[in-house]
Structure 1
């Protein structure tokens, strides 16, 4: 055997080792979030964006600060229709660093063939948690000239995941090389203006197989309480309230202007504007919201864009202890 061929094989073996390791499905990190859901723990997840480029160093750095403080880390999939590394690849990178991901998967950019292929590939690479999303409109992002797909939407994607878990593809043909065992979740927006529309979509997502729900940014906790009492009560599926770190009054005003369905109260904006240290004040506000959410639902989904390293400090302020190992 030539040195060139031998070296090539050694490199190939080195690259394949982590993939082979995770495909066995035996590592504890793959099931921690599902176990916490099923045992009724107060759930904590956090959102991290994939890199815009080929270097995942910042994503890894931010995700590593969350170890021991969250049950899983969400990896976004083209959030706001802005180009970033694919969520499957980014999720696998987190797995290789001992961090359990929730891989978001949106319907905007893939047809049902591609979605099924990605879901099977994600499972083979060790990903177990999937958040099924319809996806933000292309016109809102940085490639407005791109063509949307939307072959499916989030409810039909949940149905598709359950078919794969049952051993069949979307055409009811059997999977000849093994079933998947994905743990599907869905998004919910308790602040949706149409109460009947909110209830209808929530119930349809439950029927389609959603095992957990992560909410959009919550700014109206009275509305969240009403949702929990009148719609989510008795479903036995955890709702994680979206908590967003506001970094300044300007940041809050920007969100009010550009994020549909969000209305951050003027009292909160004034509080940030009057603070000597707006970022520290924003952390206090987020901690107060975590405490409110803890009284209403089974978890929180933390969002602190590019400052995920502050999430443990927010949880400390809120009196949230580290998650069980």
Structure 2
């Protein structure tokens, strides 16, 4: 798989994110993903991000595979107990999905159904432990899986701008020990914080980092993100830059391209987020002078062999 190869061979890796539809028709999401072919190594599919109803990440990832695109299945613990998580992991493996990002999930109170009942039986570290067990061929209850181990390439999230450095260090170490093979960060707006995170926390653990870059469309959009996205902290200087720009959309692309170019020299790669504007991601990468080394020019086989990683 392209992402596994890039990250394990020390190459610059590029991923981007698509959001499942709020409805039963995946056409727009798939169209956005097609625009990323040849520009990124893999495409993340969010799983109930911001605790808002969306189509299943698992279903969209399978549809991406059918398009010949490499997906990253995001899996959050908020809405499933351990039995459901186990079932979805085994189902994902049967559908040929190998890349997985293990997440705790945004709290229900930030979403549009705040009275929904969260589950949260596991959190990201324990989900990583479960994935590791399955990869080792261990049945979570007792004994061994009858058909051998799975072959997931598991990643975890991190926030380099977290206010608690000691807590961040501890949490990332626990994720590494649980089986994380790479880190994908939240949106980063401070290059120095990213550098410190990579040098002091990720590198000593031999964890490659994909630095999160978020496309800002306007000053109003940036202020909205600061208000509703957990952990977001867009500095006022960037908001002012967007407010003063003749064309905020163009300026947002320019800002993202600058971040991509800078962060790719600090971390091993970048992860781009452009909600409802995924078609602008190739332009961002073009302006940054970056493109996936191995273009996804041919369809992937529908199912990968168990040893493909």
Q: Which TM-score band applies after superposition, normalised by the shorter structure?
A: over 0.9
Residue 13 of structure 2 is aligned to residue 49 of structure 1:
no
Give the secondary structure class of the aligned counterpart of 2:264: helix
Partner of 1:247: 217
Distance in 2 (alpha carbons) for counterparts of 1:233 and 1:166: 25
Partner of 1:91: 61
User: Which runs of structure 2 are paired with 1:38-117 in the superposition (5 Å)?
Assistant: 38-117=8-87
Distance in 2 (alpha carbons) for counterparts of 1:81 and 1:263: 19
Per-residue CA deviations over 1:243-276 (Å, capped at 9, x if unaligned) read 0000001011111222233221222111111111
Partner of 1:201: 171
Distance in 2 (alpha carbons) for counterparts of 1:283 and 1:106: 29
Measure how far apart 1:53 and its partner are: 1.2
Residue 116 of structure 2 is aligned to residue 146 of structure 1:
yes
Structure 2: state its 5+ residue gaps: 296-309
Distance in 2 (alpha carbons) for counterparts of 1:185 and 1:172: 25
Partner of 2:190: 220
Say which one has the larger Rg: 1
Per-residue CA deviations over 1:10-60 (Å, capped at 9, x if unaligned) read xxxxxxxxxxxxxxxxxxxxx121111111110100010111111100000
Distance in 2 (alpha carbons) for counterparts of 1:64 and 1:56: 12
Structure 1: state its 5+ residue gaps: 1-30
**Pairwise CA RMSD:** 1.1
Measure how far apart 1:322 and its partner are: 4.1
Q: Relative contact order (C-alpha < 8 Å, sep 6+): which is higher?
A: 2
Measure how far apart 1:170 and its partner are: 1.9
Per-residue CA deviations over 1:160-189 (Å, capped at 9, x if unaligned) read 001001111222431113321111000000
Q: Given that residues 78 and 106 in structure 2 are in contact (C-alpha distance below 8 angstroms), is that contact kept between their aligned partners in structure 1?
A: yes
Q: Given that residues 14 and 292 in structure 2 are in contact (C-alpha distance below 8 angstroms), is that contact kept between their aligned partners in structure 1?
A: no
Partner of 1:275: 245
2:105 corresponds to which of 131, 135, 139: 135
- Taking structure 2 as the reference length, the TM-score comes to 0.93
Runs of 4 or more above 4 Å deviation: none
Residue 261 of structure 2 is aligned to residue 291 of structure 1:
yes
Partner of 1:7: none
Partner of 1:169: 139
Distance in 2 (alpha carbons) for counterparts of 1:107 and 1:305: 22
Q: Given that residues 160 and 169 in structure 1 are in contact (C-alpha distance below 8 angstroms), is that contact kept between their aligned partners in structure 2?
A: no
Q: How many residues align?
A: 295
Q: Given that residues 40 and 291 in structure 2 are in contact (C-alpha distance below 8 angstroms), is that contact kept between their aligned partners in structure 1?
A: no
Partner of 1:210: 180
Distance in 2 (alpha carbons) for counterparts of 1:235 and 1:195: 16
Segment of structure 1 superposing worse, 253-262 or 218-227: 253-262
Q: Given that residues 240 and 298 in structure 1 are in contact (C-alpha distance below 8 angstroms), is that contact kept between their aligned partners in structure 2?
A: yes
Distance in 1 (alpha carbons) for counterparts of 2:113 and 2:138: 35
Residue 199 of structure 2 is aligned to residue 229 of structure 1:
yes
Distance in 2 (alpha carbons) for counterparts of 1:172 and 1:40: 37
